[in-house]
Amino acid sequence: MAYIDYYKILGVDKNATQEDIKKAYRKLARKLHPDLNPDDKEAERQFKELNEANEVLSNPENRAKYDKYGEHWKHGEEYEKAQQQQQRQYQNQGGNFGGGFSEADFGDGEDFSDFFQSMFGGAGGGFGRNSRGSASGKFKGQDIQAELTLTLKDAATTHPQTFDINGKKVRITIPAGVYDGQQIKLKGHGNPGFNGGPNGDLYITFNITTDPNFERAGNDLKSKVSIDLYTAVLGGDVKVNTLDGSVNLKVKPETQNGTTVRLKGKGFPVYKKEGEFGDLFVTYEVKLPTNLTEKQKELFEQLKNS
């Protein structure tokens, strides 16, 4: 198994914080995403490596194992236990391997990592199938960490989504109301288990992009709408955008700049509660007139002095 430097792939050093790793992954994932690089095999390869690196380094426990065991991080602890067990067996039988294994114990042409593979990853061989009849352990496959980017409007609707994991198509239905950073678990959709063990799980974290028209606050939405000075003073109608279309809103006379009104039930759908919605809070921004004529300026002077 060739050593892959996950830190190098993400462009961070070994002292990077979890937040540094998250930011680095998001930046590169947006750059290398297959949707932005259609038919680019190199970008596809780099995207897969990026996801692999993130799966390991974004999980503190897995990261600690990777830092200790390198490419053998997944079964490193099991390897140490098996090594200790075999060491005890040799000692009980009068063997001379009491000092444990090292690279010097293997002849020319046999790599230490190849020995590890034969014990833990090779078909038909390995520890537990020798003449001593020791049983091989079954280990759960590696979990996979993935991110799924959605627009705010996508997150507001229940819809199916299909994506590729390890060459397999995975189809899920995303419920309306998911929030940025929310994580769901798909049991058994991770990497294959070892020695007949169960598959790992797939963890999907949602990344909701910033919307130019709405700011989300829980299940509520906030937006701003400009009104001219005449409407603010005299009252009138203004068209306001919502997630499901536009509505006409009555502006009361003498409305002040920064006034906020609530549109009940026009906010974000509540997660897994069909028919329930937050509210939409609209803030008025009064736009002052420009390029006034002399007559208009006179009228303002009259208002000022009245």
CATH at residue 184: 2.60.260.20
Q: Is residue 118 part of a domain?
A: no
Which of the residue ranges 79-93, 186-200, 260-274 would you say has the lowest mean pLDDT?
79-93
Note down the domain range covering 220: 214-287
Confirm if 166 and 188 have CB atoms less than 8 A apart. Answer: no
pLDDT of res. 125: 35
pLDDT of residue 94: 45
The better pLDDT of the pair 272, 87 is held by 272
**In contact, 205 and 263? CB cutoff 8 Å:** no
Average pLDDT over residues 98-115: 37
Would you say how long the chain is, in residues? 306
Give the pLDDT confidence score for residue 265 in this predicted structure.
96
Would you say residue 90 lies in a domain?
Answer: no
Residues 200 and 149 in one domain: yes
User: How is residue 251 written in tokens?
Assistant: 């502006």
Domain total for the chain? 3
Residue 112's pLDDT band, with cuts at 50, 70 and 90, is very low
pLDDT of 77: 66
Say yes or no to pLDDT of 154 above 70: yes
Domain endpoint, select from 158, 175, 208: 208
Task: Identify whether residues 164 and 203 lie together within a single domain.
Answer: yes
DSSP per-residue codes, the chain: -----HHHHHT--TT--HHHHHHHHHHHHHHH-TTTSTT-HHHHHHHHHHHHHHHHHTSHHHHHHHHHHGGGGGGHHHHHHHHHHHHHHHHHTT-S-TT---GGGS-TT--HHHHHHHHHT-SS-STTSSTT-PPPP-BPPPPEEEEEEE-HHHHTS-EEEEEEETTEEEEEEEPTT--TT-EEEETT-SSPPBTTPPP--EEEEEEEPPPSS-EEETTEEEEEEEEEHHHHHH-EEEEEEETTEEEEEEEPTTPPTT-EEEETT-SPBPTT-TT-B--EEEEEEEEPP-S--HHHHHHHHHHHH-
At residue 47, does pLDDT exceed 90? no
Q: Where among 168, 185, 208 does a domain terminate?
A: 208
> Residue 24: pLDDT above 60?
yes
* Mean local confidence (pLDDT), 293-300: 89
